[in-house]
Chains A and B, each alone.
Chain A
């Protein structure tokens, strides 16, 4: 009995220091990835695309299962309502209810802007993994919005199809939240900055409920993603992610 208590005490001492200092960049990123993906989820998200003289709002419902299965349904605006997107491993389809047609999307469309936003299809349905498709190292410890963060550099592996030259990510030491991410092109110019805001507890995990995407070159342009609801551990069987369900999901 005493032995167990001793072990527990040791563990209690060891654990905080582990999470604070001794985690490798890979372990940190693995935690970030599983925080948000890795299992099934259901969410309602409002996306606002902001341009200096113009603004558009799209409301979506998203179901996911791991990193391989996604179903996204547009519920607003009226013009695009009922349009859906299905991702199954490497295949991506969209459904247009007005013309009654399923369209298979080619892989070059993965880097296409999604519905005119500052996000690509790849950003939205997460084709690439921040753990496996990049080489990474911890650069420093910095504070973002009063939270201690690891500053991590991610360089895409040669065989990956990632368009970025490198990615710098600030991950909070507590709860492993992606507070800030900067995307650089191959010439080392900053292209995009993502900011995680309004940290909220969704079920048992902490995540930003607002994500802001700011393109560097275009002044005044922004895309804001706001989660109206986000549930994890939802029972989304593989059969949910079918061509049939893409046409009838509501």
Chain B
């Protein structure tokens, strides 16, 4: 399978989509020109991006289905964010994510009896698929597969859809939204509504949660928040309070609630000692299910960062995660079920990152996460980002894992991503 074929197809499609998007956005912007509110601000704003990403994954696998150990894939990824400022107090927001997957991973799964589109989302309406049985629950995911063949998969998802009501003291939002309660940079034990894995770097917005969020601002830098997700079974209910405040130039927060049958209590802080930035975040979970194997869980992280006068930033962190294991290889990083309760497959992890801007347009980051377990799992991620123009970015990302298996220290997975991104806005 030649890389150049994917590259050229990818490029052509990107250019086509680019021009299509630009025309649409321009037309939208023109038609909205008349609808302006106070101070000439637009009532409706549309922003988004178009990305093309080439992936090269080399896997050391015993999977008999895999003839090649190197997989080449291409992902075209478009995002549209819509904000409609209905009035002073009401705002409607929606975001749509469209992706076209092509390449050897798609082919490998879809030609061996698998279903690539199923792996994309739990509730997913598979249009034009004769084997698919429609269900209303699937529709609630607002997630649609348009095409699912050996050569390509096209998938769309509405990952934001909410109405927000804002007054000077209150902020209430209802619908699919992101409730981001984490403060640390790598691991977030407080992020019970939207836990995410740092390996998934290509989805910085993260999925939304269908929820109600009520926030009351007790001061200019303090608030009390209450959030509850939608659920059809109380065992899936997540509901919690969060209190945030600023004191002694530190931000603090405490949280308490219930998360999928677990009582949860946690807290976090961010501040600095001298010029060194420090943060900490922890959560304790008590499983209400008496049949659970582990009834107590605890996750805590500590982080620190320092910037030198030449703009070199060095940061370090530590994670303790009681649900993590002391065994297992580094491949576990990509296939564990992530939640605030299980942030990392291993019990302990030490992280370090160095970032340096070579120029305003070009910067590099090298991160490493090491777990002192049986397999000495190590995750390395170098990243180079280049800003070609105001709205054009080019990134090169590597994800390399190492672990000790059968007495040998080796690298079971190496992945490289080349990403071109074009951002746009209606005004």
Contacts and interface: CB of A to CB of B under 8 A. Distances in A.
B217 interface: yes
A248 B272 contact: no
B1 to A, nearest CB: 33
Find the residue from A91, A111, A115, A243 having the highest chain B CB count within 10 A: A243
Find the residue from A57, A77, A113 having the highest chain B CB count within 10 A: A77
Contacts of A116: 357, 359-361, 387
B220 A56 contact: no
B391 A79 contact: yes
A10 B270 CA distance: 59
A90 interface: yes
Contact of B249 (A91, A108, A238): A91
Contacts of B271: 104, 106
Given A98-B205, A106-B277, A90 B249 contact: yes
B305 interface: yes
Contact of A107 (B171, B270, B272, B390): B272
* Overall SS of chain B's interface: strand
Interface string B287-316: 000000000000000000111010100000
A180 to B, nearest CB: 24
Interface stretch (B178-186, B346-354, B365-373, B412-420): B178-186
Interface in A196-250: 238-239, 241-244, 248, 250
Interface in A77-115: 77-79, 81-82, 88, 90-91, 98-101, 104-109, 111-113, 115
The number of chain A residues touching the other chain, given as a range, is: 35 or more
B139 interface: no
A54 B220 CA distance: 40
Nearest to A49: B360
B166 A78 contact: no
Interface in A36-83: 49, 51, 54, 56-57, 76-79, 81-82
Contacts of B233: none
* Overall SS of chain A's interface: mixed
Given A51-B361, A56-B387, A238-B220, A99 B275 contact: no
B331 to A, nearest CB: 27
Contact of B275 (A78, A108, A238, A244): A108
B276 interface: yes
A115 B47 CA distance: 20
A51 B359 contact: yes
A56 B362 CA distance: 12
B425 interface: yes
B200 interface: no
A243 B217 CA distance: 9
A101 B281 CA distance: 15
B103 to A, nearest CB: 27
A112 B305 CA distance: 13
29 contacts: A51-B361, A54-B361, A56-B361, A57-B390, A76-B425, A77-B390, A78-B47, A79-B390, A79-B421, A98-B204, A99-B206, A100-B177, A100-B205, A104-B251, A104-B270, A105-B277, A106-B276, A107-B274, A107-B275, A108-B306, A109-B307, A111-B307, A113-B311, A116-B359, A117-B360, A161-B275, A244-B217, A244-B220, A248-B91
Given A77-B425, A244-B220, 12 more contacts: A51-B361, A76-B390, A76-B425, A78-B49, A91-B249, A98-B204, A104-B183, A104-B251, A105-B277, A108-B307, A161-B275, A242-B220
7 A-B pairs with least C-beta separation = A106-B277, A116-B360, A78-B425, A108-B275, A79-B423, A242-B220, A106-B272
